[in-house]
């Protein structure tokens, strides 16, 4: 009986430490040391309203915006509560049909040349906010035409938005890029 009581007391102490004290301490340290990241790396507009996050992609479909990488999340695209890939293998007919449809949609929008994989295939999380530089640059003629801007100006904007990314030597955050695009269009 004594060992059971000791085990229950030890369990209760560890439950409080590991379940409450440790997470609270780590959350407080993160909030002080990394306030932006601990708060979700939110992006705000000029009025201070939250319009997104640097960490989670958004769905853009208008030709006047750079398209994001496809999302495989359920219910809606870029659903942070349903992060995950599609689990469709490279020979799965459903995946092949999705990729084919995405390529046809890009061609219909005016994208020409070889299509980078990240424009037609979702990431493992389904939430990736970044595109490779190649995937952004191939969309420049479409966006420039839709915005009535020169391709050189839009291409320069894309290059100015390159961010460090450990998975790719050159990538851009699509939301940040589209926000910068809106700012130059307003000028």
164: nearest Cα among 72, 57, 54: 54
C-alpha 14/C-alpha 6 separation (Å) is 12
Mean pLDDT taken over the chain: 89
- Quick check: 167 pLDDT over 70? no
Rg from Cα positions in the chain: 22
Q: Once rounded to an integer, what is the mean pLDDT over residues 5-14? A: 94
Please report the pLDDT score of residue 107 as a whole number.
93
What does the DSSP 8-state code read for residue 119? G
Please report the pLDDT score of residue 48 as a whole number.
85
At CA 162, angle to CA 35 and CA 78, rounded to 5? 65
Q: Which two tokens stand for residue 130?
A: 């970044």
Q: Is 79 exposed, middle or buried (0-12, 13-18, 19+ CB in 10 A)?
A: middle
Q: What is the pLDDT of residues 41-87, one digit of tens each?
A: 888 887 888 888 888 888 888 889 999 999 888 777 888 788 877 88
> For residues 177 and 161, is the Cβ–Cβ distance under 8 A?
yes
What does the DSSP 8-state code read for residue 80? G
């Amino acid at each position: 009986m004594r060992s059971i009581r000791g085990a229950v007391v030890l369990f209760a102490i560890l439950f409080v430490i590991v379940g409450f004290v440790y997470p609270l301490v780590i959350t407080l340290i993160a909030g002080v040391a990394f306030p932006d990241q601990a708060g979700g790396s939110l992006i705000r507009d000029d009025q201070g309203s939250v319009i997104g996050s640097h960490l989670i992609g958004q769905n853009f479909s208008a030709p006047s915006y750079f398209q994001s990488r496809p999302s495989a999340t359920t219910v809606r695209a870029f659903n942070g509560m349903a992060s995950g890939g599609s689990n469709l293998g490279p020979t799965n007919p459903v995946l092949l049909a999705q990729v084919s449809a995405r390529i046809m949609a890009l061609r219909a929008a005016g994208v020409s040349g070889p299509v980078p994989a990240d424009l037609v295939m979702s990431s493992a999380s389904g939430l990736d906010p970044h595109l490779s530089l190649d995937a952004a640059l191939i969309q420049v003629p479409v966006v420039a035409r839709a915005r009535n801007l020169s391709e050189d100006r839009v291409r320069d904007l894309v290059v100015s938005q390159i961010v460090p990314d450990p998975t790719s030597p050159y990538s851009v955050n699509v939301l940040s890029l589209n926000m910068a695009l809106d700012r130059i269009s307003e000028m």
